[in-house]
Amino acid sequence: MKIAMIGTGYVGLVSGVCFSDFGHDVICVDKNPAKIEMLMRGEVPIYEPGLDALLAKNVEAGRLSFSTDLKAAVAGADAVFIAVGTPTRRGDGHADLSYVMAAAEEIAQALTGYAVIVTKSTVPVGTNRQVHDVIAKANPKAAFDIASNPEFLREGAAIDDFMRPDRVVVGTTSERARDVMGEIYRPLFLREFPILYTDLETAEMIKYAANAFLATKITFINEIARLCEKVGADIKQVSRGMGLDGRVGNKFLHAGPGYGGSCFPKDTAALARIGQDHACPMEIVETVIKVNDDIKRRMIEKIVDLCGGTVNGKTIAVLGVTFKPNTDDMREAPSLTIVPALVGGGAKVRVVDPQGKREGEALLPGVQWMEDAYKAADKADCVVILTEWNEFRALDLQRLASKMETPRMADLRNIYHRADVTKAGFEEYVGVGR
């Protein structure tokens, strides 16, 4: 199959590379010449484990290429995937669909024969029908069908998620489009990974409902963690006790400083707005958004209290600023709320992150970037664990404590036990929910 992937952001690039590894002929298109030149050199503009090697393999095999020429990429394509950004629109919480609609208009003018236009971007219910109308209006003679194919990729594990998915969702009302999509995903079907075919609206809703539910699960356990601190329970054991129940499951039950990233914040905001527009308020989702914001602020209070009621004049080492490990993504990361508050409170903040500096330098002004945790902790008054990168899970705690002016730890990911930390020489320790 010949595939044109419009957009080389996280979703577009990972999807395009993986489709080429299925054996398809894929052209990834982007308006940014610098990004395309980088990709043509074999350089990956995002950090995703294994993506650079998979990209190089398929470029060498002649199945994967990159271009700024949308018209040439779309001509003769069996399927054209729209994988452009849908950020939260300022002022009203809606998903900004301007990039999607602009792509649809360009695609319409470039079509030379029948193609399935597939929306890979996360879009509100009804968007795919709007895409259909935009294309039909821009090119009344175009032969095409529309399909919705939402992505369910976890940053840091995206390749495995694409190659071994829990499910593939395809929304379409056309048998011909269904056949094309079935052929594209044929390698997964042969390995018996489930492909769920629905109508357009259902496919669109599945994506929002799934992300909102996972965000709710994270926020729920963070609420329980707060109560655990009041009553003397241990959230780690509570989460384990809940997760062993097959009806609940153990994923997304880890207490911490709140969710962030490119999906949950914008998708919960968009779903809440969709509900308001249809006079069907998503009250649980609206509460999740509010509570998640409150959780980040409570983390700031934890750090301030640990430092004796003020961070003014204190040196604080922050370990991890990306929203999760194994990514360089800083979007809506808890660090973007917590670190500026510490700087604003008069603290000298040192930051360590294996991949966060590229984006973080512009987003976190006033901090000092350090090479490792031990250098960051030198003469520091407090160390704060914000992101659970593997290299922060096995620190030499005794060495870390010995370097500090005042050995204190705010472990906001609960990766250490209090007994181990205090035994290593830390005077004070605070976690989340225990």
406: which 2 tokens?
């005042």
d(CA 332, CA 263): 9
**Which residue in the block uniquely carries the two structure tokens 């605070």?**
430
* 3 state SS of 10: helix
Backbone angles phi, psi at 433, to 5 degrees: 80, 25
Residues at the annotated binding site for substrate? Answer: 152-155, 207, 252-256, 260, 324
| Secondary-structure percent of the chain, ordered helix, strand, coil, rounded to 5 | 45, 15, 40
d(CA 365, CA 215): 29
d(CA 303, CA 42): 42
d(CA 62, CA 74): 18
Alpha helices in 43-95 (DSSP H): 51-60, 70-74
Burial class (CB in 10 A: 0-12, 13-18, 19+), 333: buried
How many C-beta neighbours within 10 Å does residue 218 have?
23
- Please name which of 100, 94, 114 lies closest in space to residue 11, comparing C-alpha atoms: 100
The yes-or-no answer on residue 228 being catalytic is no
Residues at the annotated binding site? Answer: 30, 35, 86, 122, 152-155, 207, 252-256, 260, 266, 324, 331
d(CA 356, CA 318): 12
Residues at the annotated binding site for NAD(+)? Answer: 30, 35, 86, 122, 155, 266, 331
| C-alpha of 106 from chain center | 28
d(CA 434, CA 422): 15
Contact 432, 407 (CB under 8 A): no
- Amino acid at position 348, single letter: K
For 18, how many CA atoms within 13 A lie in the half-sphere containing its CB?
Answer: 24
Tell me which of 18, 28, 228, 263 is the catalytic residue: 263
- Please name which of 5, 21, 323 lies closest in space to residue 156, comparing C-alpha atoms: 323
d(CA 155, CA 158): 5
Q: Which residues are catalytic?
A: 263
